[in-house]
Structure 1
């Protein structure tokens, strides 16, 4: 008797060959005929399950096995998720906790192939108190490797109750210093809307995300500042590092600044054959939190919202509802955009409860700007291209990970190939080239959110110049690194 794991390497191959001779022949059991409305592969799956149920060395938890089979398939599609009944119950509780504050450590991150790149930390949250910095790379949580995992796995490792510790392993600087920190989760309450009066009676406003209460929170923040002093002469809306949220909240913010009877967005459904126009009229931006009451109705007599000069700040982390807002305000002639091209998530998701209380989320539409151009993969290009720092490495910024860098499986669309396949390879080649050259990545790092609205905020300074009629200091950009020109759609007039 010997331990196979201690066998010398030269004996492994013969052992493997000998072992294969001990496996008895297994024959698939005859299964019932496949129903005519089933895909053949579903019957194949049933045949596989029948064999494993009968002859696998251990008894298999078949429901869990099939849940995982569905999950792995669904997750390969863009922004699609399958949750079993227990996971859906947990998600419902998580959504409720998010509205009231969520236990966490207070980090804002970008999920990259090599880990979680910290974009910013929430002031006074556990991560900030422990010394976590923007630019740190988190590679493990409680010993679970985060390299190459998706957002679903990250959420599973990160979630926990208030007061529960979370051990994170991170890399910092050059050479990469390895640090291990143990943080204690605390309630992180969402603060999506803030407003602050600047010199010259310019109002700097920020939306960090688009939760359901975003419209009301934003109105309250702005109105509170308007009551404090002289009339506000201009507004800056900061949508940088805003990953989106409720699309109806984006429509509501657009309606707030543009007024009624405008096209805020057009969605294309099922092979781009069905157009659906979303307007700035109630109830196109209705959300459950509003309880049937239009939050913009009391403001219709206040024309200030629709005439005050407006500049919107965007960057490569402005995504989904954030870039939809920016695009609508730009296309409708209501605002100028300043910053760097946005992320490029131009798809909408919906969800439905399926059998046995499971839940499926899938992408059901492409979002078009009011001008008929898609955002998916392209993003929104600002009127003024301005980096986060005066001496920024613009090539490095434009090569930051965006929607265009996410590959799509070949079976995700039978009709059209991946339009960004070649561009994706070229972008990765340029990144590899920069890595070999050992360029200073600090010059291409995002501006920490704690510096937004401060004297260190170069993009804000240029926005103030634009509003004052002064020259905006833009940066020369290599055309090959800019988003490609999208194929725009002629919109129905109805």
Structure 2
């Protein structure tokens, strides 16, 4: 839903601790004038504005003050400053003074905005951090150029091509590693166990980050983790659930689902709506409210619950923000899922990107969003139904979560035949057991699911 105002394009709605860009086009109803909107901070009728309306007059005294400051800086600052630098700095200052999420988007930020939405960019495919002034490889992403070239977790990158990374910021190093697909960068690496530095040439490629991961946990319990909400996340979530069902086959039904939204910073509003819609038969998912007419939107579920009522537990924590909170709030208010973990981040505002030209834009907070019951989570967050803090699981506590009946190849009750769990190999069981044994919140989520299954 991109709207035109003069020569500027308006892109509504961004939701995340980081930010994303996507026009919404999913089951949204623009609230007509006079339509009933939940009362949570609803604006007065005469306060509504339209995007592209005539600009409000600026007091002459304020313009004079700005012009005087501009002139004095130009004349007396220790070094010459060009006009564009001062104007851009003034614009950044105007936006940064509003709230933490409004910003002036210059070319690099505008490009990053689009990359974070699509989940695709030209690069090497590694997650990195800083250690002792060098770039440390946290992990190479599966099936990416870095992994295929032999880059390993724990490697220290000391040079990019012939340039030392010492003194670079992490952002500068990441920018240097990104580039046009097909171009090559030479990494000089220090690796434990090697006598000297290694040189690895890596050809950049378009990196597609998969935001949805799935796994069977045994006993008919499925696990889906969403790391962030990208443009394709809604469809990928539906596919993940379908594949879990298919993996179980006809002999065993999916008895419960763990949806893990921990440390998910948010992302695209439409993706959050699609994930919620997939689990709801009907009802309101979320609504937004602000001063401009186009900020008054309601998102309703369409008929069809992909799980057909199978119990769901959603895991959240303080790193779950924005779009993650929309999903948790929608499922909680519609009584579709049990929310387990700790309070979420509390970002309940919506940003709109106003494109100024091909390379610049404004990211401006234009609305708050509300859960179906009318709650604003801004600065409060979603409170879980079951409070479970993250705990360090000791070896004694990490006893096997699986019962005998959950194990591959378990004996049936009569003892005369060998039962077969067609969904999980012994390797799958081992991987699931290891993950569960290290994650106390996940273990508690499985226990809750089993209780719900028994009650059902």
Cα distance between partner residues in 2 of 1:186 and 1:329: 38
Specify the alignment match of 1:198 in structure 2: 217
Alpha-carbon distance, 1:270 to partner: 4.2
Specify the alignment match of 2:373 in structure 1: 371
Unaligned 5+ residue runs, structure 2? 1-55, 155-163, 190-198, 395-431
Would you say the 8 A contact 1:340–1:381 is kept in 2?
Answer: yes
Question: Are residues 1:465 and 2:442 paired?
Answer: no
Specify the alignment match of 1:208 in structure 2: 227
Query: Structure 2-normalised TM-score?
Result: 0.60
Q: 1:233 aligns with which of 239, 244, 255?
A: 255
Question: Are residues 1:65 and 2:86 paired?
Answer: yes
Question: Are residues 1:244 and 2:266 paired?
Answer: yes
Specify the alignment match of 1:278 in structure 2: 298
Alpha-carbon distance, 1:121 to partner: 7.4
Structure 2 matches for 1:223-372, cutoff 5 A? Answer: 223-228=242-247, 229=249, 230-260=252-282, 262-270=283-291, 276=296, 278-281=298-301, 300=303, 303=305, 305-354=307-356, 358-372=360-374
Cα distance between partner residues in 2 of 1:100 and 1:131: 22
Alpha-carbon distance, 1:306 to partner: 4.0
Would you say the 8 A contact 2:138–2:153 is kept in 1?
Answer: no
Query: Structure 1-normalised TM-score?
Result: 0.56
Count of aligned pairs between the two proteins = 336
Unaligned 5+ residue runs, structure 1? 1-34, 134-140, 170-180, 283-299, 392-449, 471-494
More displaced, 342-351 or 364-373? 364-373
Cα distance between partner residues in 1 of 2:287 and 2:390: 30
Alpha-carbon distance, 1:457 to partner: 2.2
Would you say the 8 A contact 1:252–1:280 is kept in 2?
Answer: no
Cα distance between partner residues in 2 of 1:218 and 1:36: 48
Cα distance between partner residues in 2 of 1:120 and 1:46: 51
Cα distance between partner residues in 1 of 2:128 and 2:308: 32
Alpha-carbon distance, 1:328 to partner: 1.2
Question: Are residues 1:222 and 2:241 paired?
Answer: yes
Residue by residue over 1:316-359, the C-alpha shift from the partner in whole angstroms, topping out at 9 and shown as x without a partner, is: 21111012101111111000011222111111111112378631
Would you say the 8 A contact 2:313–2:445 is kept in 1?
Answer: yes
Cα distance between partner residues in 2 of 1:377 and 1:385: 21
**Cα distance change on mapping 1:348 and 1:93 into 2, 3 Å:** closer
Alpha-carbon distance, 1:264 to partner: 1.4
Specify the alignment match of 1:48 in structure 2: 69
Cα distance between partner residues in 1 of 2:214 and 2:367: 33
Residue by residue over 1:42-84, the C-alpha shift from the partner in whole angstroms, topping out at 9 and shown as x without a partner, is: 3322223334445656543211221122123323422111124
Over aligned residue pairs, what C-alpha RMSD do you find?
4.6
Alpha-carbon distance, 1:248 to partner: 1.6
Alpha-carbon distance, 1:304 to partner: 5.1
Would you say the 8 A contact 1:203–1:234 is kept in 2?
Answer: yes
Alpha-carbon distance, 1:375 to partner: 1.4
Identify the structure with bigger relative contact order (alpha carbons < 8 Å, sequence gap 6+). 2
Alpha-carbon distance, 1:125 to partner: 6.7
Q: 2:393 aligns with which of 390, 393, 402?
A: 390
Specify the alignment match of 1:107 in structure 2: 127
Cα distance between partner residues in 2 of 1:182 and 1:40: 61
Specify the alignment match of 1:456 in structure 2: 438
**Cα distance change on mapping 1:88 and 1:119 into 2, 3 Å:** closer
Question: Are residues 1:80 and 2:102 paired?
Answer: yes
Cα distance between partner residues in 1 of 2:128 and 2:373: 32
Alpha-carbon distance, 1:127 to partner: 8.9
